[in-house]
Structure 1
């Protein structure tokens, strides 16, 4: 199963180690979505046509999804989860592929819109660790 990663799971970011063993398929692809700074050192996104988010696509082995769900605060219960998992279509130069993306479930996480949709560039300007 493929994952669209857009925040702390990206290469060089603090949670990238969780993807150790996953295969990077595409870098810097875009997804129609809005990115938010949660104020807690990581972003959240919601799907939307009026903006884009930049991320990478990984092929993730089945055994990794439990760790990813735990990191993202996902249990399958929208009443308590921070994020939900959604299947999206990602356009690449070669094709359109399906990937899972973690999108915001908890509305209180949507603090500041990151208009660039680029977490790494934003984090560097904000000095977020």
Structure 2
């Protein structure tokens, strides 16, 4: 089964989880990836390359076709296209210390994120939104 790391509005307790993932995942674990996180003026997060721990959830999807819905939501049209985010395999560190590779979306325009976004030094968008 496919797994995806989510760090923004696809996390539990947020609108896109309820809209897209609720009742379509069979397992959820806490995890981190490496990167830098910014809150964009449009109201959602962007993760770009970096060395911070980015906190999120690893969702084990119960439906294989769900990736296509997530690609549409994240503005990912495929390699070499004019994408908002790109979906690639990333090394995830799970809460218990295990590591595995799973899908994650990263923001394409790093300069825009750094210029327009608010840097989230602790790498947890959920905590940022609940401050």
The change in CA–CA distance for 1:112 and 1:84 in structure 2 (over 3 A counts) is: same
| Superposition map of 1:23-62 within 5 A | 23-27=26-30, 29-49=31-51, 51-60=52-61, 61-62=63-64
How far apart, in 1, do the equivalents of 2:97 and 2:109 lie? 35
Structure 2 CA distance for partners of 1:120 and 1:94, relative to 1, 3 Å: closer
Counterpart among 86, 89, 95 of residue 87 in structure 1: 89
Using structure 2 for the length normalisation, give the TM-score: 0.85
Aligned length: 123
> Aligned equivalents of 2:97 and 2:113: distance in 1?
34
Give ranges in structure 2 of 5+ residues lacking alignment: none
Aligned residue among 96, 103, 120 for 1:100:
103
Q: CA RMSD in A?
A: 1.6
Question: Which whole-Å CA distance do the structure 2 matches of 1:34 and 1:98 have between them?
Answer: 19
Give the 3 Å change call, closer, same or farther, for CA 94–120 of structure 1 in structure 2: closer
How far 1:87 moved relative to its partner?
A: 0.6
